[in-house]
Amino acid sequence: MNTMEDLKASPTIVLKFRIHKCSSYSSKFGPENIIEDKPEDQTSRWSTDSHIPPQFVMMKLEAPAIVTSITFGKYEKTHVCNVRKLQVWGGLTEEQLLLLLDGGLKNDSHAETFTLKHIVDNNPFPVRFIRLVPLQAWGSTFNISVWHVSLSGVNDPALVRRCQHTYTLYSEREALRVCLKHLRHKRYTNAYAALTRETNTRLEHPVLTQLYRACTEFEHMHNAEEILAKAAHSGLLTEYLQGQPLVPMWRQLRPPPGALPNSTPGMRGGHQLCFDSATQTIYLFGGWDGQQDLNDLWCYNISKNTWTCISPDTTLQGGPSPRSCHKVCIDPDRRQLFTLGRYVDSRMRSPDNLKSDFFLYELETGRWTQITEDTGEEGGPKIIFDHQMVMDVKNRVIFVFGGRVLTQSRWEGVSLDSASAAGLAPSDPQFSGMYRYHVATNTWTCLRPDDTHLGTAALTHGSNTSTNATATTTTTTTTTTSSRSNAIRTSRVDNIASPRQRPSSVGDTSSSSSSGPTSSGSSSSSATSAAHVLKSRVGHSMLFHPISRQLFILAGQRHKEYLTDFFTYQVDTDVVGFIGESSQSLASNGRSMTTMAGSVTTMGGMSTTQADGAALLGAGFPNKPLDVPTAGFTQKATIDPILQEIHVLSGLSKEKDKRDLVCNSFWVYSIPLNKWSCIYHNEVSGDGPDDGAEPCPRYAHQLVYDHHNKVHYMFGGNPGRHQQPKMRLDDFWALQLCRPTPQKLIKEAVFAIRKNRYEELAVQDSALALQYLQTELHQAIDHTNQEQVKEFQRLACTLFQPSQPDLCHPPPLTSQQQPPPLHIPQFDDILYSDAPPPAMDGCPPPPLIHQDQVTISHQEALMAASSSSTIACSSSNVSSMKLNCVSDSFNLLNYDGDSSSSTSGGGGSSSSMAYKDPAKEQFFAWRHHRRSELFNYLAKFFPEDMTQPKTNLEDLVPL
C-alpha cells in the first residue's frame, strides 16, 4: 500500500498546536485566542496592531503531521475586521515554508473550511509549522482579526515518517535537477556528465533531452522538427492543447438562396428551444414578438439548414395556448416534448386563466396531449414563469425549480392575520420551490418548498424528504405540509424582467433579506439552518448531469437582488452542495465543497475543488474582474457531461454601481478543476452597431448545445434597445469553440525553429540567409496567421539593415583565467603533486586521481546526458507509463549532423577546448543562448512532468 492509499485509509483528526510567534497583536487580542472557538465573545480573537502587511501568526503542531484542511471560525455577527484575503504557508521548519492556500473569507458568521495543499509529486508531505498571513480586512483601513483556527489532518507517526522520508528524497532530487539544468545551460559539460553519473538522476524525459540536443548541437535543427512531429503523433502534446484557451467562432445561419418568405421563425424573445440529438433537429416553440404571445412550433434540420413550420397555431391540434417565459424539455429516447408554465399579463389574469397547464407533444405522431389542466391541484407547481425545467431521461423524471408564481391579486383569499403569521409584506412576490415529476406514474413531488413559504418551517427541513428518483411513486405528494404555503403573496409581476420589457427598475419595494447559500469551502461548525434551504429565483440556469446525477443551479434574480450563487443538488439524496467562491485555494487532491451538514465531499466522485478563479458568480468578493461571470439574469447555460464542462452565455448583467447592462460574454466552467474561463466578451451594448460578424448583445434569447459535434445554436432575443423597446430578434447563430490542432501547433513550432535558424544565418552570411528566407522559412508560414505574415515581412526587411547580434553572453568560466581566491593559501604542492597524500590516523591513504582520469570524453557526456536512469523525474506513475511507451520510437532517431559545428555533450564545448578566438567563442555563446531559449519555448508544449525544473539556480542566489 502506497502513501496515498495509507492517507485515505487513515482517520482525519483535529490537530493540536500552540502559538509559536506572531508579528503583532493589539491590547488583549493575543494570538492564543484563536485556539478556542467562542463565536459569541467579541474579545476571543487575534487582532493585529496594524493593517499594513506583513502580519502573521505562526502555529507549531505538537508533532509533524499531514495537514489536510483548515477551518476558520467567526464571530456571531459580521465584523469589519474580519479577514478578507489571506495566505497559509506550511513546512517542517519555520524558515522553509510552502504556500498551502491563497484565498479569502466571507464577511459572515459561518465557519469556512478549506483543503490545504498537502501532496507533492503524488505523495503527501508533513508539516510542523503553519504560518497564517492575513493580507486584508473587509474594512480596508481596519486592523485584521482572526477569531478561530482549527487544523485537521493525519498524525500517524509511521505514515508521517514515511512521507517525510519520501519528501526528503523528492527535495534532494529536485535540487539535483536544478543544478543539472544550470550546468547544461552554462555548458559545463564535464560537471554535468559527472553529476548525472554520480547521482543517477535524470534532468528530464529522454524525449526532451533529444530535443535539446537537436536544438543546440546540430546546424540545421531538422531533427527538432521531426521530434515534435512524432511527439504530436504520439499524443504527448495533447495536454498542452487541451489547456489552451478556446476561441469562439460565430457563424450566422441564414436561409438558403431561393427560400420562400416566412420560411423561418419570426422575431421573438422568451421562446424555447430544445435539441434532439438522435435526429440532429432543433425545435422552437412560442415566445413574445413585442406585441403578442406566440404558440407556433418549428423544427430546424441541421444537416439541410432548413426550417419547417410544424404548426402555426398549436391550439388547433389541441396543444397549448400562446405563451412566453415557459419551459420545454425533450425526451430524445421516447421522442416526446414537455412544456410547462407561462407569463400572463396582469390585465388578463382570471381564475380560469391562472391554471398551470402541462402538455406533452409526440414527435413521431405530431399529437398534443394535455397531461394536467392545473399542476398546482396535483401537488405540482402553481402557474409560474421564468422557472427552469430539465429531464432525467434515463429515469423519466422532470425537475422544475424556481419561477415566479402568478396570482390574480396579491391579497386574494389571504387575511391580514394569515399574511402577518407568514411574515409576508404587500410587496413580497411568491416564488416556486423544487419539484419532481415522474412521467411513468404521472405524479408530482415537492422536494424543497421556497424557504420564504414556510417561514421557520424551512429551517428544519431535513435532507430525507425526497425519495429516490428511480423509484416508482404511486401516490401524489402534496405541495407542502404547512398551511402557510396557500398564502398568496405577490407584487407587481409586470416589473419582474420578462421578454416583454427590460427590467430597468424593479417595482418591488423591499429586497430579500434572506442570506444566500454559503460558499463552497465554507461550512458551519454546527449545521446551521441556512444551509438547509434553497433560495428560489427567476431567470436562473439549471442543468442536469446524467453521470453524477446532480443539478447545477446558478445565478438569477430574486426581488431586486441579482443572485451570485452557484450550487448543486443531488437528486437521489436531497443534498445541496455550494460550489465555492474565489478562494483561489491551492488544494491538491480535490478542494472542498460543503454540503448541508458542513461535511467535505466531492461532486459525483469527481474532484470538486476551489481553484484559481473559483466558481462563485458575480461581485462582492475579492476577485479579479474576469475571474468569474458577473451577476446576471436570463443567462443561458448548457452542459457537456463528457468534457465535464458547463457553458454560460450571459444575458442581462448587473454590475456594481451600474444600471442593468446588456453585454454578452461566454464562459466555460470546468467541473473537475472548479475553474471559470472567459472565452468571449462583447463590449458593444445592445444600443451599439451590429457589424454582422457576431451576434449583437441580447437577453431573453435561447441557446441549445449539440454535445456530439460541440456546437451551440442561439436564436432570437431582446437586444434591450432603449430607442426600440418592443424590438425582438430573429437571427440564428451557430457557435463553435475551437482549440489549436496538433497540426497548427507543429506549424507554429516549425516557424519558430526556422526563424531562429534564419536569424543566425543573417549574422553569418546574408546571401545564404536570403535564400533560406525565400525557401524553407517561407514554406513554414501559416498565411492565415496575420502575426506570422507580419513577422515574415519584418524579417525580410531586417536582412538589409546593418545590425550586430547581442553578443553579451560570456563563455563558461572554465575558459577564462581565474584569479586565485583572496587570503586563502594555495596548497599547489598538495593538489598537483604526484606523491600520494599522507594517511590519516588509522586510515589508508586515498587513491591518487590524476587529472586525465577525471576528463570525460564527448561520447560519454552524450550517453550520460541522454541516459534513461532508473530514478524517474517528478512524474506520476500513470504519466510515466504513458511517456515511456512512446520513448522507444524516439530512441531510433539518428543524429548525423555536422559534428564539427556541434557543441559537445549535453550542452556545449568541453573544457579541453582552447578558446583561441574570443570573437568566435562569443558567437557560439550567443548562438547557444538563443537555441536554449528556443528549446525552452518548445519544451512548454510537453507535459510538465517530462520537462526540466522551472526554477533556475541563479534565482536562488540572495542579492
Kind of pairing between the strands at 327-331 and 306-311:
unpaired
319 pLDDT more than 60: yes
Q: pLDDT grade, residue 708 (50/70/90)?
A: very high
The backbone region for 605, taken as left when phi is positive above 0, alpha when psi lies in -120 to 50, beta otherwise, is left
59 pLDDT more than 70: yes
Please compute the mean of the pLDDT values over residues 276-305 and round it to a whole number: 95
456 pLDDT more than 90: no
Please compute the mean of the pLDDT values over residues 816-820 and round it to a whole number: 50
Angle between helices 742-764 and 786-798 (to 10 degrees): 10
Measured distance CA(235)–CA(717) in Å, rounded = 42
949 pLDDT more than 60: yes
For residue 448, give every residue at least 6 positions away whose Cβ sits within 8 Å of its Cβ, in sequence order, or none.
433, 434, 461, 465, 533, 534, 574
For residue 685, give every residue at least 6 positions away whose Cβ sits within 8 Å of its Cβ, in sequence order, or none.
661, 662, 663, 697, 720
324 pLDDT more than 60: yes
Least confident of 149-153, 467-471, 778-782: 467-471
Please compute the mean of the pLDDT values over residues 915-928 and round it to a whole number: 78
Which grid cell sits at 465?
A: 424528504
Domain boundaries, the chain: 3-155, 212-244+741-801+923-958
Give tens-digit pLDDT for 374-398: 999 999 999 999 999 999 999 999 9
Q: pLDDT grade, residue 102 (50/70/90)?
A: very high
Give tens-digit pLDDT for 854-881: 333 334 333 433 433 333 333 333 333 3
Least confident of 264-273, 719-728, 745-754: 719-728
**Main-chain dihedrals φ then ψ at residue 662, nearest 5 degrees:** -95, 100
Chain centre distance of CA 725: 37
DSSP of 613-639? T-S--SSSSS--TTSSPPSEES-EEEE
Which grid cell sits at 490?
A: 405577490
For residue 165, give every residue at least 6 positions away whose Cβ sits within 8 Å of its Cβ, in sequence order, or none.
none
174 pLDDT more than 90: yes
CA angle 275, 281, 284 (to 5 degrees): 65
CATH superfamily of 3-155: Galactose-binding domain-like (2.60.120.260)
Q: What is the pLDDT of residue 806?
A: 55
Q: What is the pLDDT of residue 862?
A: 39
For residue 733, give every residue at least 6 positions away whose Cβ sits within 8 Å of its Cβ, in sequence order, or none.
250, 251, 252, 253, 695, 713, 714, 715
Q: pLDDT grade, residue 593 (50/70/90)?
A: very low
Identify the CA nearest to 271 among candidates 730, 726, 727, 631: 730
Give tens-digit pLDDT for 193-251: 999 999 999 999 999 999 999 999 888 888 999 999 999 999 999 999 988 888 899 99
Q: What is the pLDDT of residue 755?
A: 94
Q: What is the pLDDT of residue 244?
A: 87
Contact assessment for residue 889 and residue 234, using Cβ atoms and an 8 Å cutoff: yes
Q: What is the pLDDT of residue 843?
A: 40
891 pLDDT more than 50: no
Q: What is the pLDDT of residue 481?
A: 30
Please compute the mean of the pLDDT values over residues 23-40 and round it to a whole number: 93
Q: pLDDT grade, residue 808 (50/70/90)?
A: low
Q: What is the pLDDT of residue 117?
A: 95
DSSP of 424-456? --TT---B--EEEEETTTTEEEEEE--HHHHGG
Q: What is the pLDDT of residue 938?
A: 96
Average pLDDT, the chain: 76
Q: pLDDT grade, residue 580 (50/70/90)?
A: low
For residue 881, give every residue at least 6 positions away whose Cβ sits within 8 Å of its Cβ, in sequence order, or none.
none
Q: What percent of the chain has pLDDT over 70?
A: 70
Q: What is the pLDDT of residue 490?
A: 30
Q: How many residues does the chain have?
A: 959
Please compute the mean of the pLDDT values over residues 579-593 and round it to a whole number: 38
Higher pLDDT pick, 651 / 598: 651
Which grid cell sits at 419?
A: 399574511
Q: What is the pLDDT of residue 561?
A: 81
Single-letter amino acid, residue 34: I
Higher pLDDT pick, 681 / 709: 709
Measured distance CA(883)–CA(865) in Å, rounded = 18
Please compute the mean of the pLDDT values over residues 140-158 and round it to a whole number: 94
Single-letter amino acid, residue 105: L
Please compute the mean of the pLDDT values over residues 362-376 and round it to a whole number: 96
Q: What is the pLDDT of residue 688?
A: 52
Q: pLDDT grade, residue 408 (50/70/90)?
A: confident
